[in-house]
Amino acid sequence: MPKTRFAFVGTGGRAISFIEPLVTRYREHNALVALCDLSPTRMAYYNRKLAGAWNYGAVPAYPADQFDALLRETKPDIVFVCSKDSTHHDYIIRALHAGCDVITEKPLTIDAAKCRAILEAQRASGRRVRVAFNYRWGPFRTKVKELLATGVIGRVHAVNLEYLLDTNHGADYFRRWHAHAAESGTLLVHKSTHHFDLVNWWLDAIPAQVFAYGDLAFYGRQNAEARGDGHLAAYPRYTGEPRAKDDPFRLDLDESESFRGLYRDAEADSGYLRDRNVFRDDIDIYDQMSLNVRYRTGEVLTYALTAYSPREGMRVSFNGDRGRIEYQEFIGTHMNRAVSPGDFKIEDKPGAEAEGESIRVFPHFKPSYLVPLPPATGAHGGADDILTHSFFSPDAPATDPWGRFAGHEQGAASILVGIAARDSIRDNRPVTLSDLVPLAPAATKLSQLI
Ligand SMILES: NC(=O)c1ccc[n+]([C@@H]2O[C@H](COP(=O)([O-])OP(=O)(O)OC[C@H]3O[C@@H](n4cnc5c(N)ncnc54)[C@H](O)[C@@H]3O)[C@@H](O)[C@H]2O)c1
């Protein structure tokens, strides 16, 4: 059987999570045929790993402006998009028109016009698009899906989801491109796409309308100065800055081999600084967001995201007409995969305590009980390994009993909540999602979307 040919666009921190397993555990059935990125230095970092630790051999590295040549010359079957969020649509669309299937990191894209263009390119090409929603594949979250789908609390009418990003992981979004709405779509798209997708999938429902509030309450120069932390805003970046020695928000790129190779050594290529001061002036995203979502089938979600919390995790409660489920996960702080254990002494930072996960069912008129949890180890609570297996293994089933594969329409259903929330905050009004992108108007369940 010929190997499936993969090309990767975007060779930053995240791509390691997929490239490493592809060229090691899954190399018998798959081939990595090319890399593409704005930064030759980052691609060279990957090629050193490919030739060295992963014992695979270097592959052709195409600068971003030669992506069409990559498609022509290396003929990938699947283009895997791991670049900055605002660039996803461009690579997805060009790959589809070249006859490739696509797997893209979340978010599918960052605004309604780009989303419509992706859906149009998919229709025209007939090729397959998958969104790498790893959260769905976490064993605990799949267990929640199983409980809801089997009717343990009857029909669910309302969901509350509070997500906390801590002053380590949450702050990291304010150091780099995520801090600009034009590049990340704000955390309402970049981060919350995970959470909106989870709720869409848990409820098997399609979001219809959103009302939202958002503020920049903690990060940014003005906020630091107003609460007497102006000294933390005194320098533009952290690496090599003696005044940042005791700064709790400090990230020194020289302290980590992977950060030095991927980011510090690559600064001259594209001007991308990975460690900018989180209390600088040019941040235009929110660090606290709250919103309500009404679904096509009537359910309501109350959602809050805080990006400056002392702890990291989420609490979700489902109110059904036969009872209630409370799910929580406090798995400790984490940053992206390029950070090796021990780097930056993240584990030592206060507030990083892991409380773990629990699911408790409260049936009406009966005692509550804890649900035994499946084992989970590995990155993102075990989700990354299971997701990777589904992408790369020939043994992975084509269909999934819990409907965990997400295509372009399900990817759109999730980002549209965040995109609508942005409009709602700007205009102080409820926003109807079908006014942004008319997504399968007759469908009532998420599982009816591709
Ligand atoms: N599912 C998850 O758990 C998870 C975790 C982290 C990141 N991600 C996603 O993965 C993607 C990459 O994130 P990251 O953390 O690796 O970020 P990163 O900044 O480390 O890497 C982004 C890469 O995109 C490249 N890039 C920027 N503009 C480009 C262009 N025009 N053409 C080609 N390449 C370009 C950059 O040079 C960089 O190498 C993002 O879409 C992010 O949302 C997902």
Give the pLDDT confidence score for residue 334 in this predicted structure: 62
Closest Cα partner for 269 from 14, 73, 48, 61? 61
| Tens digits of residue pLDDT in 72-117 | 999 999 999 999 999 999 999 999 999 999 999 999 999 999 999 9
Residues with CB under 6 A from ligand 1: 9-14, 37-39, 42, 64, 82-85, 87, 105-106, 132, 134, 190, 270, 272, 336, 380
Q: Which helix (H) or strand (E) holds 359?
A: strand 356-363
Topology of the domain covering 4-132: Rossmann fold (3.40.50)
Amino acid at 61: A
| Tens digits of residue pLDDT in 137-155 | 999 999 999 999 999 999 9
Closest Cα partner for 412 from 9, 88, 81, 118? 118
Q: Which helix (H) or strand (E) holds 307?
A: strand 300-309
Exposed/middle/buried for residue 19 (C-beta within 10 Å: 0-12, 13-18, 19+): buried
Give, using CA atoms, the residue closest to atom 21 of ligand 1.
12
| Tens digits of residue pLDDT in 1-37 | 899 999 999 999 999 999 999 999 999 999 999 999 9
Assign 3-state DSSP to the chain and report helix, strand, coil percentages, each to 5: 40, 20, 40
Centre of ligand 1 from the C-alpha of residue 86, in Å: 10
Q: Which helix (H) or strand (E) holds 39?
A: none
Centre of ligand 1 from the C-alpha of residue 176, in Å: 11
Pick the atom of ligand 1 nearest to 384's CA: 3
Q: Structure pTM?
A: 0.96
Q: Is the pLDDT of residue 336 over 60?
A: no
Mean pLDDT computed over 316-323? 98
Check residues 350 and 237 and name the one with the higher pLDDT. Answer: 237
The rounded radius of gyration (Å) of the Cα atoms in the chain is 22
Amino acid at 93: I
Closest Cα partner for 256 from 328, 344, 145? 344
Report the distance separating Cα 443 and Cα 21, nearest Å: 36
Domain boundaries, the chain: 4-132, 135-219+283-375+407-448, 221-270
Give the pLDDT confidence score for residue 122 in this predicted structure: 98
Pick the atom of ligand 1 nearest to 133's CA: 1
Give, using CA atoms, the residue closest to atom 24 of ligand 1.
83
Give the pLDDT confidence score for residue 350 in this predicted structure: 47
Q: Are 101 and 75 in contact (CB under 8 A)?
A: no
Q: Are 430 and 105 in contact (CB under 8 A)?
A: no
Q: Is the pLDDT of residue 358 over 80?
A: yes
Amino acid at 349: K
Average pLDDT, the chain: 94
Give the pLDDT confidence score for residue 95 in this predicted structure: 98
| Tens digits of residue pLDDT in 192-238 | 999 999 999 999 999 999 999 999 999 999 999 999 999 999 999 99
Q: Is the dihedral of CA 135, 198, 201, 84 positive or negative?
A: negative
Does the domain at residues 135-219+283-375+407-448 carry the CATH identifier 3.30.360.10? yes
Pocket test for ligand 1, best of 35, 46, 84 (most atoms within 8 A of CB): 84
Report the distance separating Cα 183 and Cα 262, nearest Å: 19
Pull the structure tokens for residue 300.
């309501």
Measure Cα distances from 443 to 121, 140, 410, 421 in Å. Answer: 21, 28, 12, 22
Q: Is the pLDDT of residue 367 over 60?
A: yes
The SS3 call for residue 351 is: coil
Q: Is the pLDDT of residue 333 over 90?
A: no
Centre of ligand 1 from the C-alpha of residue 178, in Å: 10
| Tens digits of residue pLDDT in 156-185 | 999 999 999 999 999 999 999 999 999 999
Q: Are 131 and 406 in contact (CB under 8 A)?
A: yes
The SS3 call for residue 180 is: coil
Report the distance separating Cα 312 and Cα 415, nearest Å: 22
Q: Is the pLDDT of residue 424 over 90?
A: yes
Share above pLDDT 90 across residues of the chain, in percent, rounded to a whole number: 89
The SS3 call for residue 414 is: helix
Q: Is the pLDDT of residue 346 over 80?
A: no
Q: How many CA atoms lie within 13 A of 417 on its CB side?
A: 36
Give phi and psi for 216, each to the nearest 5: -105, 100
Count of C-beta atoms within a 10 Å radius of residue 422: 23
Closest Cα partner for 302 from 315, 313, 291, 318? 291
Q: Is the pLDDT of residue 325 over 90?
A: yes
**Token pair 């299937």: residue:** 101
Centre of ligand 1 from the C-alpha of residue 83, in Å: 4
Report the distance separating Cα 322 and Cα 126, nearest Å: 42
Closest Cα partner for 166 from 38, 335, 374, 417? 335
Lowest mean pLDDT among 38-52, 205-219, 395-409: 395-409
Centre of ligand 1 from the C-alpha of residue 91, in Å: 13
Centre of ligand 1 from the C-alpha of residue 173, in Å: 12
In this prediction, residue 399 has a pLDDT band, given cuts at 50, 70 and 90, of confident
